[in-house]
Structure 1
């Protein structure tokens, strides 16, 4: 078996809670479709970044910004023959709510969602790269990183022209949200499709069709994705990978390793070593 040459390195901010940065070089790896529970702000540095998100296929050349809202399903791979180099900052919604609200001058803007995924914007790119520099090089203070986050949020709000809160959820959206909430509160339990469809008050068939249409993945894929995200946070607290695998319902450590690597490019143990002192 050929040795994987792609490289992934995660950096945990020492100053801002729930801020993590990834620096990656990809040549022989592709991500499975997945979603993060954080905002993700990235810049393509070299090569070309190809990915599917929001019902569209995207190609990002060097200098482009990629932005994912929490819960947005996407995959990713190098485009062409060149090695793909990129950076990505992951920030929890709780960390950004006040920043978005302040940047927009409206409390309701805390739930801001960008309408654009692939963005050509030098000011936004420079703000993201500055945040990445501060975290990866462990320089500056808390206020420096917070100001970089404020620049990112402010530019996104400015690009939107004016803040437009999400439309009131219709009945299908509200019902599917019940199922998603059920998943998040039962991650350590053995869930069935019947459990999820009943939580949404929908027939199993109707639930499956609506869920995949709305979120771009099956309910089973969503459950695995949420368990991986929760497992990642548990690893950051120092919990042993074998214990985390058992807690979140993976058959064994090998199964956990495979699932985790398809989303984060490295094993749980490697990730834990990269983000903990």
Structure 2
């Protein structure tokens, strides 16, 4: 596994709002930013300067200043800078339960069952970009509570035109697809040292077919998805204050260094740095 190296000009600022659990991030990258990965939260951000390029929903997206980028939980994306000057962006990572509850309080026609999703990955919407900037700034700088609330409400109103509701599937007699069954198997055995043969046997197909179907459905092969699943769970444990070494052992990584290499590839922060920024717990 080779880790693409950062440039001397890359930087990352991460904060976590204790009231809402929202993480805010400002960062600058030149060249390769991060490998394909996904989050279990909503991602709402905007490019401040330069050109940001990323693949999501099966297409290459190019975000420039004045554009917002919007990702729902589970959407796989990567990132790089196609121009030498790189790009600077700001973004928010919003917990689904909080986001859906927030919408339900402020949106009169929100359905009682279902989950909000974004209609498009990129949005050229000046009001939304301004609202993202205000909300990130208010949370990132720990502004007055009422200022933070006002900024978040303004962001929701700006997001309203970009949100659609995906109704929950209630067809109990519709068996899950092979890819869906494979995904369920990976979630059920996320911390086990499973192989492709184990996955194939559980599905009753060859390992080659299992890999092909999974990649077609989720955009990455099963082994890459399993790593990302462990990283998502690692973020949760680190956010709760767990030591990186304990997290690595609990999630099936060989050791803390193994976790650290994968974590750095996906998030451009070490597990210790992420833990420190999200919990304010100093390193021992």
Place the TM-score, normalised by the shorter chain, in its bin.
Answer: 0.7 to 0.9
Of residues 182, 193, 196, the one that matches 1:193 is 196
Displacement of 1:83: 2.9
CA distance in 1, matches of 2:121, 2:168: 17
Cross-structure match for 1:94: 97
Cross-structure match for 2:132: 128
State TM-score, norm by structure 1: 0.87
Cross-structure match for 1:230: 233
In structure 2, relative to structure 1, the CA distance for the partners of 1:91 and 1:269 (3 Å cut) is same
In structure 2, relative to structure 1, the CA distance for the partners of 1:171 and 1:238 (3 Å cut) is same
CA distance in 2, matches of 1:84, 1:229: 25
Correspondence 1:165 to 2:204: no
Provide, for residues 140-179 of structure 1, a one-character-per-residue CA deviation record: whole Å limited to 9, x for no partner: 21x544454444344333245x646377789686543343
CA distance in 2, matches of 1:71, 1:139: 30
CA distance in 1, matches of 2:221, 2:175: 16
Counterpart secondary structure, 2:81:
strand
5 Å matches for 1:118-267? 118-141=122-145, 144-159=147-162, 163=165, 165=167, 174-197=177-200, 203-267=206-270
Cross-structure match for 1:84: 87
In structure 2, relative to structure 1, the CA distance for the partners of 1:63 and 1:242 (3 Å cut) is same
Displacement of 1:126: 1.8
Tell me if structure 1 keeps the 8 A contact 2:113–2:168. no
In structure 2, relative to structure 1, the CA distance for the partners of 1:201 and 1:113 (3 Å cut) is farther
In structure 2, relative to structure 1, the CA distance for the partners of 1:110 and 1:131 (3 Å cut) is farther
CA distance in 1, matches of 2:202, 2:95: 26
Cross-structure match for 1:32: 35
Displacement of 1:181: 3.3
Cross-structure match for 1:8: 12
Correspondence 1:115 to 2:119: yes
If each structure's helix is expressed as a fraction of its own residues, which one has the higher value? Answer: 1
- Alpha-carbon RMSD across the aligned residues, in angstroms, is 2.6
Correspondence 1:273 to 2:276: yes
Instruction: Tell me the number of residue pairs that the alignment of Structure 1 and Structure 2 aligns.
Output: 274
Query: Which runs of 5 or more structure 1 residues have no equivalent in the other structure?
Result: none
In structure 2, relative to structure 1, the CA distance for the partners of 1:148 and 1:252 (3 Å cut) is same
Of residues 11, 21, 25, the one that matches 1:22 is 25
Counterpart secondary structure, 2:263:
helix
Counterpart secondary structure, 1:112:
strand
Counterpart secondary structure, 2:118:
coil
In structure 2, relative to structure 1, the CA distance for the partners of 1:58 and 1:3 (3 Å cut) is closer
In structure 2, relative to structure 1, the CA distance for the partners of 1:233 and 1:63 (3 Å cut) is same
Provide, for residues 57-90 of structure 1, a one-character-per-residue CA deviation record: whole Å limited to 9, x for no partner: 1111112101111110110011212131101100
CA distance in 1, matches of 2:54, 2:30: 14
Provide, for residues 89-121 of structure 1, a one-character-per-residue CA deviation record: whole Å limited to 9, x for no partner: 001211112223342523346501112001111
